[in-house]
Structure 1
């Protein structure tokens, strides 16, 4: 049977060889697909494949990779990266410059450990800390920027640089008064103007300390928008550096899935839908599409609580509406694309 790649589940068997758009052979006929095969097909933008009919329930087959818990080492390295960005903030606040070796010693070990981790959703759900939003957000954006760069087929060296730019993108917030940065109520016009200056502060800090114009530009431009509605310079389209457009997608996603002082965090799948909406004007549409396409398969097998209180698991994505998947509850299946009044309230590993 012919299925969309986003409907594939672990255990599906290919009827015919799979090729990408330029004729490169990807997977041979007869292969029983695992999660890495499905990710490969997604990375190569394959839309449909032919598989043998499924004889069992459409629930995903067990997978060591999917079921593997996030290792304690990753938790430790995640916390170290948070400690590292906190130390950088404190150095600047104390009047000192930051140094490249400090940045890399804090962040690179985490990247090296997660570079082969394919289930980014489990990583995000598991790697949470009690530290304040700004610190955790910096680490998440660095991680997501690295992954997104790799999904865009950037070299390892370039992906590391983009990840580093994501890690440092909010460094200018160290110069924003805490009472504004952490204000739980709506900001005044003057306070919002001050918040916007973190992009300029970040640019100056990185350019002077690290002598890296590209990473500095990301700090300056990560709030610019394709339609010119962003800040601080109202740049638009390709006038925004490509790295800044990558980090912008990671920045928005991390911000929306995180708990803030003025609102609760939002479900990871819901936020992907919001990113999709923002790709029609604000965010780079190609970069956003790559991000969504590579994130969606990670949700298969995840447990959910629905808005009506029922609990189940995501067993299949819907190619006509990626953000409203098929849910298995006990022995029943719910197609959320047909249930407009039911939403996913919570997702967990």
Structure 2
């Protein structure tokens, strides 16, 4: 039976050898698939594989309805909420004495990481878990989750991914030292207010260095607003002078901020957000990191309903490894390949 890679579950067994788009052998017939093997398929941009018939398991089609209320939500939501509560307490402690408790942070994020290994529809996960409250804390948790995923997609080991994920969770801890009226202002910031906001990167570096004595985590907080063309802050670093973990956090930070709804910002369409990241990858963001992120996020749109620029509604059937934003779309009984039928564009994704 042919299954999309996103719909694979632990224990599936390959019915045929798997080769990537360059003809290189990836996995052998008979391989039992678990999170490591599924991740490998995703890294090679393999969208469909043939697996042996499952016993006592019904394959659910990936439709808008099936992703709207996923089975993982009841088990993950309490862990997610607890993690937000812990991050909030970390901010309170950092504001009070300039420290965070490493053991508390680790105990909070490890259960969430364990569940992230099982769920690969990152697009739906973040939106379903999101709510309008506690933006700063939710943003920190979202960035931690995204950096964990992105580290895995980039080929880091599990231990390294856990560390990078922790760096994501703590990247904004320096905001604990910034005036709440400025952080939560619904108005455009003045130059002086923006200068104070910029200081959160330095505050974060100092808090993490003092508490954890971990230069890697501290640099993630310090440099996540640096840009490869030198336009970022606090020091205007360029290219290779920016730590790789900070480059990972930068991508996750922008994506999370752009999909969130705040008082002064309407929620953006998700493909628009990824297109914007793609645009930034040629100037401000590290291209390898950004393109890896997009390549692994795009397949999550398969099965989701979209609106085309002619107002027709369709379903994304397949994505392309090179033309990220021009998938194969089914409209009624018609299939439209946006890579060849260039007059069509997706204007909205429904989740």
Give the TM bin, normalised by the shorter chain: 0.7 to 0.9
- Go from structure 1 to structure 2 and tell me whether the alpha carbon gap of 1:191 and 1:114 turns closer, same or farther (over 3 Å shift): same
Match of 2:91 among 81, 89, 92: 89
- Go from structure 1 to structure 2 and tell me whether the alpha carbon gap of 1:127 and 1:27 turns closer, same or farther (over 3 Å shift): farther
| Alpha-carbon contact 2:94-2:100 (below 8 Å) kept | yes
Residue in 2 that maps onto 1:103: 105
Residue 225 of structure 2 corresponds to residue 223 of structure 1: yes
How many residues align structurally? 329
* Cα deviation, residue 259, structure 1: 1.1
- Go from structure 1 to structure 2 and tell me whether the alpha carbon gap of 1:22 and 1:325 turns closer, same or farther (over 3 Å shift): closer
- Deviation string 1:306-338 (CA, Å, 9 cap, x unpaired) is 567654322222456321333334334455564
* Higher mean displacement: 180-189 or 122-131: 122-131
Residue in 1 that maps onto 2:206: 204
Residue in 2 that maps onto 1:115: 117
Residue in 2 that maps onto 1:55: none
Task: State the alpha-carbon separation in 1 of the partners of residues 311 and 38 from structure 2.
Answer: 31
Residue 64 of structure 2 corresponds to residue 62 of structure 1: no
Residue 318 of structure 2 corresponds to residue 316 of structure 1: yes
- Deviation string 1:274-328 (CA, Å, 9 cap, x unpaired) is 1111110211111111111111111101233556765432222245632133333
Task: State the alpha-carbon separation in 1 of the partners of residues 343 and 93 from structure 2.
Answer: 50
* Cα deviation, residue 340, structure 1: 5.3
Residue 346 of structure 2 corresponds to residue 347 of structure 1: no
Residue in 1 that maps onto 2:73: 71
* Higher mean displacement: 227-236 or 309-318: 309-318
Residue in 2 that maps onto 1:143: 145
* Cα deviation, residue 41, structure 1: 3.6
Residue in 1 that maps onto 2:19: 18
| Alpha-carbon contact 2:305-2:313 (below 8 Å) kept | yes
* Cα deviation, residue 205, structure 1: 0.8
TM-score, normalised to structure 1, is 0.82
RMSD: 3.4
* Cα deviation, residue 171, structure 1: 0.5
Task: State the alpha-carbon separation in 2 of the partners of residues 8 and 151 from structure 1.
Answer: 14
- Equivalences for 1:237-276 in 2 at 5 Å? 237-276=239-278
Q: What secondary structure is seen at the aligned counterpart in 1 of 2:326? A: strand
Residue in 2 that maps onto 1:43: 43
- Deviation string 1:113-146 (CA, Å, 9 cap, x unpaired) is 2112222122122211232221111001000100
Q: What secondary structure is seen at the aligned counterpart in 2 of 1:69? A: coil
Q: What secondary structure is seen at the aligned counterpart in 1 of 2:319? A: strand
Task: State the alpha-carbon separation in 1 of the partners of residues 82 and 266 from structure 2.
Answer: 25
Task: State the alpha-carbon separation in 1 of the partners of residues 261 and 199 from structure 2.
Answer: 23
Q: What secondary structure is seen at the aligned counterpart in 1 of 2:250? A: helix
Task: State the alpha-carbon separation in 2 of the partners of residues 315 and 241 from structure 1.
Answer: 37
| Alpha-carbon contact 2:139-2:257 (below 8 Å) kept | yes
| Alpha-carbon contact 2:303-2:315 (below 8 Å) kept | yes
Task: State the alpha-carbon separation in 2 of the partners of residues 16 and 100 from structure 1.
Answer: 44
Task: State the alpha-carbon separation in 2 of the partners of residues 21 and 335 from structure 1.
Answer: 22
Residue in 1 that maps onto 2:179: 177
- Unaligned runs of 5+ residues in structure 2 are 9-13, 51-58
* Cα deviation, residue 149, structure 1: 0.5
Task: State the alpha-carbon separation in 1 of the partners of residues 337 and 23 from structure 2.
Answer: 35
- Deviation string 1:182-202 (CA, Å, 9 cap, x unpaired) is 122211111111111110111
Q: What secondary structure is seen at the aligned counterpart in 2 of 1:272? A: helix
Task: State the alpha-carbon separation in 1 of the partners of residues 42 and 303 from structure 2.
Answer: 17
Residue in 2 that maps onto 1:213: 215
TM-score, normalised to structure 2, is 0.82
| Alpha-carbon contact 1:304-1:311 (below 8 Å) kept | yes
| Alpha-carbon contact 1:36-1:118 (below 8 Å) kept | no
| Alpha-carbon contact 2:223-2:242 (below 8 Å) kept | yes
Match of 2:306 among 304, 307, 311: 304
